[in-house]
């Protein structure tokens, strides 16, 4: 068993690592953007595939990863895990259908609500204590899920036809309309100070002097909170640099000797 994840702020990473650890203490969970990820995945026949949902859809970077390694999924048993800020009709079902198309055996699909990492929607903004409670509930749900899986019962969140209809009508169609005017041209906010912190934090080491770049860099899989500018590329959403991830709150809680985990 192995876990693979896309995680911009640590929320999804926390969830998949916890789930994988509960199912198999010797198993590891690795980020999707690592160079050795494909090689490591090929050595296992059970994959926990995790990512954050974006308007009841699979992030563009995750779709690209799946389609770039078609032969990797044939015969693999996969549990799709989708982290959500509030609601997702078929967030996990979207990747499940795509992976199944390329030969994977989908054993289950699992939705986990975590603190929203974008925070550009007022409804999703929560106070610190509210987010801590969301994390507690997420951890309990993960523990219960692991217990059921050990008994041979896998979750089926977002895998039914009515889930697909809900995701399409309630979120995806609206989002497609909202992003119709997006392009692949690099957009730099006026908030950019040319300080250079973003180039130091870029996990893919592909940011340079943004003012001189004509288009977005390749292999841009995630942003790290802390930079002074938010980037919007294609149909992907931007990370609010003021957001506080669950991983950060967990570390704070540990310092306070809290029992979040």
The answer for 219, left when phi > 0, alpha when psi is -120 to 50, beta otherwise, is: left
Are the C-beta atoms of 29 and 16 separated by less than 8 Å?
yes
3-state secondary structure of 103: coil
> φ and ψ at 260, to 5 degrees?
-65, -40
- CA distance linking residue 230 with residue 139, whole number of Å: 30
Q: 88-117 burial, b if ≥16 CB within 10 A, otherwise e? A: bbbbbbbbbbbbeeeebebbbbbbbbbbbb
pLDDT means per 10 residues, the chain with 261 residues, are 91 95 95 91 95 86 93 95 87 93 96 79 79 93 97 93 82 73 68 72 65 53 40 33 38 38 32
- The H or E element containing residue 4 is strand 2-5
- The CATH architecture one would assign to domain 2-176 is 3-Layer(aba) Sandwich (3.40)
To the question of pTM greater than 0.85 for the whole model, the response is no
pLDDT at 228: 33
pLDDT at 183: 65
Contacts of 185 (CB under 8 A, 6+ apart): 215
Other Cβ atoms less than 10 A from the Cβ of 62: the count is 23
Task: State whether the Cα torsion 53-173-102-161 is positive or negative.
Answer: positive
3-state secondary structure of 254: helix
């Amino acid at each position: 068993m192995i876990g693979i994840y896309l995680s911009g702020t640590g929320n999804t990473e926390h969830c998949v690592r916890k789930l994988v650890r509960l199912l198999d203490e010797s198993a590891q969970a690795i980020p999707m953007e690592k160079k050795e990820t494909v090689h490591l995945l090929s050595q296992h026949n059970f994959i926990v595939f995790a990512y954050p949902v974006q308007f009841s859809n699979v992030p563009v970077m995750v779709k690209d990863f799946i389609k770039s390694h078609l032969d990797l999924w044939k015969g693999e048993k996969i549990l799709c895990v989708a982290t959500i800020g509030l609601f997702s009709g078929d967030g996990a079902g979207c990747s499940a259908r795509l992976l199944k198309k390329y030969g994977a055996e989908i054993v289950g699909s699992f939705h986990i609500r975590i603190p929203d990492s974008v925070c550009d929607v007022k409804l999703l903004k929560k106070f610190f204590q509210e987010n801590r409670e969301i994390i507690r509930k997420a951890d309990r749900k993960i523990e219960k899920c692991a217990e059921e899986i050990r008994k041979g019962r896998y979750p089926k969140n977002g895998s039914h036809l009515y889930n697909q209809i809900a995701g399409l009508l309630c979120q995806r169609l609206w989002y497609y309309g909202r992003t119709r005017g997006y392009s692949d041209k690099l957009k730099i906010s006026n908030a950019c100070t040319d300080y250079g912190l973003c180039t130091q934090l870029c996990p893919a080491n592909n940011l340079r002097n943004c003012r001189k770049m004509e288009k977005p860099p390749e292999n841009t899989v995630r942003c790290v909170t802390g930079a002074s500018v938010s980037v919007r590329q294609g149909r992907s959403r931007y990370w609010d640099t003021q957001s506080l991830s669950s991983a950060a709150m967990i570390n704070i809680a540990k310092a306070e000797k809290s029992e979040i985990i």
